[in-house]
């Protein structure tokens, strides 16, 4: 139980139901959660229902939600257009899943090809994690090279190859990043075959690529780090040229930025086109989804080989191709019709004229209001973000990479976040803020009132 000196103390008094549920869950789930990211001290708040921009926990407390399932819900909770599309799909097909090709796969793939300049063809997966995994496999098969380069502080999923230097230690400005595992159980093989680069540092990136470029199958990057630290244009354009020069593919992990910084993601916003793109989150309309798209000649290596009886009629283009010549990719639930129905409904809603302008206007108003409240209360701070995502960084220096976040006032930020939870603003401590079409001007005004109360309570409790 937290003491009065602990920043979560006021919250503990009103979330007894969450505490009890977490204690029960710990008997059946390691740590009482189904994913480590869902946990925070002293226990995560368990939610019971949600609608629009708001959630209700098991104790009946109401929150304005800025987590939005880590950004997945661009239309907010329970959007009627999404629910209608899902129900109509199930009624029309008479089932939840077919396990065969179906029309929605083609419709969604055509939609993504039309929206994302770096996508010629598409394969669906069940999560953003699976999407980045497939993109890396495609790159290694295409280039025949053994190593991957990723950026310090960038998260691409919880698997061995990329769970490296996501949460790095602080380093001096004259040091380059190095590979460190973020979990037990990661074999040395991946540390030896993963090169870590400094985001928004073109000179440092070039220096490392000069040494390792000939070994690299790909460079994978969140074009907007964590969904909120924007790239410098000279850096992103320079990275595109550096990867071309060394023969490595450039993979954009747009799981966070896809449909959040615009209909065409970061590549559409910044005009830098990758070889492969990974998508997820918003694409599923609240259901688990992922997709990989890219240049046709690269994507085609995961096409199934022709039947033996058909090889002679196909001719020399694929003559003699065997199963071992194909990059294997499969999954029982890939292209799940219920998920794609929700995703198509979400995209159609986002295509309405002015939708992104409205959400970004609301985001700008919230960011400006939060910064003004911090100034009035003598707390150095800023909001950093792109499109409908931002984060609160307590410090006045420029923020261009994860090291700048590590140098900010993280302890104070955590205290404010717990005070915000107490005031009915839901954001996981130290996490980014995501907005949706449900975050209307009245919701923003109410949020700013609660935010100011939370900041003042934090100051009072210091």
- For residue range 126-154, list pLDDT tens digits in order: 999 999 999 999 999 999 999 999 999 99
Q: Which residues contact 330 (CB under 8 A, 6 or more apart)?
A: none
Q: What is the pLDDT of residues 3-58, one digit of tens each?
A: 344 566 678 889 999 999 999 999 999 999 999 999 999 999 999 999 999 999 99
Q: What is the pLDDT of residue 291?
A: 98
Q: Which of 43, 66, 116, 155 is catalytic?
A: 155
CA distances from 346 to 75, 354, 433 (A): 7, 15, 20
Distances (CA, A) of 153 to 88, 166, 182, 327, 413: 41, 4, 11, 29, 19
Q: Which residues does 125 contact at the CB level (< 8 Å), separation at least 6?
A: 131, 133, 134, 289, 290, 291, 292, 331, 334
172-195 residue pLDDT tens: 888 999 999 999 999 999 999 999
pLDDT digits (tens, 9 = 90+) for 277-314: 999 999 999 999 999 999 999 999 999 987 544 444 44
Q: Please give the structure tokens belonging to residue 207.
A: 């220096």
Instruction: Answer whether residue 436 shows pLDDT above 60.
Output: yes
- The answer, yes or no, to whether residue 441 has pLDDT greater than 60, is yes
Catalytic residue of the set 116, 281, 418, 422: 281
Give the separation between CA 3 and CA 10, rounded to whole angstroms: 10
Backbone angles phi, psi at 305, to 5 degrees: -70, 155
Q: Are 350 and 259 in contact (CB under 8 A)?
A: yes
**Of the listed ranges 324-333, 415-424, 445-454, the one predicted with least confidence:** 324-333
- Does 322 have pLDDT greater than 90? no
Closest alpha carbon to 285 in 230, 240, 368, 349: 349
The residue ranking higher by pLDDT, 461 or 170, is: 170
Is the C-alpha dihedral spanning 425, 427, 431, 432 positive or negative?
A: negative
pLDDT tens-place string over residues 70-116? 999 999 999 999 999 999 999 999 999 999 999 999 999 999 999 99
The percentage of residues in the chain with a pLDDT greater than 90, rounded to a whole number, is: 90
188 is known as an active-site residue = no
HSE (CB half, 13 Å, CA atoms) of 452? 13
pLDDT at 317 over 60: no
pLDDT tens for each residue of 114-125: 999 999 999 999
pLDDT > 70 in the chain, percent: 94
Q: Any catalytic annotation for residue 333?
A: no
pLDDT digits (tens, 9 = 90+) for 242-279: 999 999 999 999 999 999 999 999 999 999 999 999 99
Per-residue pLDDT of 338-357, as tens digits, reads 999 999 999 999 999 999 99
Closest CA to 453 of 364, 359, 376, 368: 376
Q: CA dist 295 to 128, 156, 284, 373, 384, Å? A: 19, 21, 23, 47, 32
pLDDT of residue 313: 47
Q: Which domains does the chain have, with CATH numbers?
A: 22-78+354-461 (3.90.1150.10), 95-304+324-351 (3.40.640.10)
- For residue 320, what pLDDT band results from cuts at 50, 70 and 90? very low
pLDDT of 460 higher than 90: no
For the question of residue 155 being annotated catalytic, the response is yes
Q: What is the mean pLDDT of residues 363-374?
A: 98
Tens of pLDDT, residue by residue over 213-249, are 999 999 999 999 999 999 999 999 999 999 999 999 9
Q: Residue 7's pLDDT is what?
A: 64
In this model, does residue 2 exceed pLDDT 50?
no
């Amino acid at each position: 139980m937290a003491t009065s000196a602990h920043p979560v103390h006021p919250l503990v008094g009103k979330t007894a139901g969450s505490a009890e549920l977490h204690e029960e869950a710990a008997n059946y789930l390691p740590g009482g959660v189904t994913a480590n990211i869902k946990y925070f001290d002293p226990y995560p708040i368990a939610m019971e229902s949600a609608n629009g921009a708001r959630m209700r926990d098991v104790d009946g407390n109401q929150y304005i939600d800025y987590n939005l399932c880590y950004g997945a819900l661009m239309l907010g909770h329970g959007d009627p257009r999404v629910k209608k599309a899902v129900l109509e799909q199930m009624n029309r097909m008479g089932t939840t899943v077919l396990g065969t090709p179906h029309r929605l796969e083609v419709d969604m793939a055509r939609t993504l090809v039309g929206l994302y300049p770096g996508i010629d063809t598409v394969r669906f997966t069940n999560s953003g994690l699976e999407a980045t995994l497939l993109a890396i496999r495609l790159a290694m098969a295409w280039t025949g090279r053994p190593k991957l380069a990723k950026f310090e502080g960038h998260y691409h999923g919880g698997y061995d190859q990329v769970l490296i230097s996501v949460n790095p230690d602080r380093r001096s400005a004259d040091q380059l990043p190095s590979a460190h595992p973020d979990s037990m159980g990661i074999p040395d093989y991946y540390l030896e075959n993963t090169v870590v680069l400094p985001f928004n540092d073109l000179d440092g990136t070039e220096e490392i690529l000069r040494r390792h470029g000939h070994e690299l199958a790909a460079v994978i990057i969140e074009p907007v780090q964590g969904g909120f630290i924007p790239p410098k244009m000279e850096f992103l354009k320079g990275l595109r040229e550096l990867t071309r020069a060394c023969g490595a593919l450039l993979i954009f992990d747009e799981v966070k930025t896809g449909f959040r910084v615009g209909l065409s993601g970061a590549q559409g916003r910044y005009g830098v086109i990758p070889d492969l793109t990974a998508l997820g989150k918003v694409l599923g309309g609240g259901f688990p989804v992922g997709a990989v798209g890219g240049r046709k000649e690269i994507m085609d290596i995961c096409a199934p080989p022709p039947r033996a009886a058909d090889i002679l009629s196909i001719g020399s283009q694929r003559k003699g191709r065997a199963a071992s010549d194909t990059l294997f990719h499969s999954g029982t639930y890939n292209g799940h019709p219920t998920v794609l129905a929700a995703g198509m409904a979400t995209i159609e809603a986002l295509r309405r004229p002015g939708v992104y302008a409205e959400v970004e206007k609301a985001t700008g108003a919230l960011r400006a209001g939060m910064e003004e409240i911090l100034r009035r209360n003598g707390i150095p701070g800023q909001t950093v973000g792109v499109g409908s995502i931002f984060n609160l960084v307590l410090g006045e220096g420029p923020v261009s990479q994860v090291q700048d976040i590590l140098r900010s006032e993280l302890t104070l930020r955590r205290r404010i976040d717990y005070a915000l939870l107490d005031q009915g603003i839901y954001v996981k401590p130290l996490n980014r803020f995501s907005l949706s079409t449900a975050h209307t001007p009245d919701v923003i005004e109410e949020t700013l009132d609660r935010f100011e109360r939370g900041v003042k309570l934090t100051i009072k409790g210091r």
